[in-house]
Amino acid sequence: MKIDQIFSPYQLNKRVTLRNRLVLAPLNIQSSLFDGSVSLNNLNFHKARAKYVGLDIIGSAYISDSANTAYGAISVADDSKIDGLKKLATVIHQGGSKAILQLVHAGRMTNSYASKGAPVLTPSEVKAAHGDVDLPKAMTKTDIETVIKQFETATIRAIKAGFDGVELHGANTFLFQQFMSPLSNLRTDEYGGSLENRIRFCAETAKRVLDTAHAHKPGFIVGYRISPEEFEPGALKLGDDLVLMQVLGKLGIDYLSLSLRQYDQTSITCDSLSDLRIADIVKQAVGDELPIMVAGHLGTQFAFERASGDMFAVGSKFLKQPNWPSQVRNPGIQPESTVTGTVIPYTTLNL
């Protein structure tokens, strides 16, 4: 896509127009206060970047203590967090961007330290093969209903805080993907086994979040981030996720965000389509009416002009140089100071 198109207004849905197609990818900078409250570091980080993008997505906001992916992440687990989140949404709006809160449940990809002692939940009692993780507890049907309800109430909190939308984090081996993957979902009930059953938790949660959003704020954006395939033998294949994406589209989500290592990567689990880019395969599968967000080594004119998609999410470039979009459009502009990392603050929020 041409650079001028990237920086032109984009109609996301019938009620929402973005000032451009650039997206601040959902980074978990682990810079919140220790209870998950929004910190000054969070506010300053997004203030410096929101003025360049159409969507600013807050990464990995956990919906309960059990759902937390890492210490320092933002919490949307209880009403006490709404005031801080409201300040964050306000900072983003002042920059001219729409504010999206990404809702996450880690599933088995966490430990009792990050979860503050809450149980580590997953579809089946199968410990992850990587990461600093604990042996998880297989979710009962009551647990499943509780988690779906937590996504609903987190959505309501995002609305009360003034966000323009939420994104369900179904990528990076977190809970939604764990239900989809044959390696982590060994259930024998209606939530496991067949593809239809493995999709059920993702679809039920998405529908409940959509219904909640539409009931409380018409035009509220609901997106879904997805890892299109897994790489281990016997793991989740692109074909299975394409069916999930089609289901999500029919439910009425506003966009699909593809979590890719490289914007033009091809599939390794679908030999018949291995010559095609995953982004192009997805677009053909879901149709033109469902916007696709692409990520992975974007940030140069060369990459943008080769990439296919409707919106383009960038993380690492924004992390290091907040004003890099100005450099892409005007190569003579000097970059702002490079950010080498973030510090978890010890101050309280008092603005």
The pairing of strands 165-170 and 221-226 is parallel
Classify residue 38 by burial, with Cβ atoms within 10 Å: 0-12, 13-18, 19+. buried
Asked if residue 338 belongs to a domain, the reply is: no
pLDDT tens digits for the chain (351 residues)?
A: 889 999 999 999 999 999 999 999 999 999 999 999 999 999 999 999 999 999 999 999 999 999 999 999 999 999 999 999 999 999 999 999 999 999 999 999 999 999 999 999 999 999 999 999 999 999 999 999 999 999 999 999 999 999 999 999 999 999 999 999 999 999 999 999 999 999 999 999 999 999 999 999 999 999 999 999 999 999 999 999 999 999 999 999 999 999 999 999 999 998 888 889 999 999 999 999 999 999 999 988 899 999 999 999 999 999 989 999 988 877 555 555 444 344 333 333 332
The number of C-alpha atoms within 13 Å of 126 and in the hemisphere containing its C-beta is 14
- Residue 138 and residue 124 in contact, taking contact as beta carbons nearer than 8 Å: yes
Asked if residue 337 belongs to a domain, the reply is: no
Specify which residues 185 forms β-bridges with: none
Three-state secondary structure call for residue 138: strand
Give the structural domain span for 127: 3-329
CATH number at residue 303: 3.20.20.70
Question: Against a cut of 0.85, is the pTM above it?
Answer: yes
Asked if residue 80 belongs to a domain, the reply is: yes
Asked if residue 346 belongs to a domain, the reply is: no
Asked if residue 55 belongs to a domain, the reply is: yes
Number of domains in the chain: 1
Asked if residue 342 belongs to a domain, the reply is: no
Asked if residue 336 belongs to a domain, the reply is: no
The number of C-alpha atoms within 13 Å of 307 and in the hemisphere containing its C-beta is 29
Asked if residue 350 belongs to a domain, the reply is: no
CA–CA distance, 172 with 329 (Å, rounded to integer) = 31
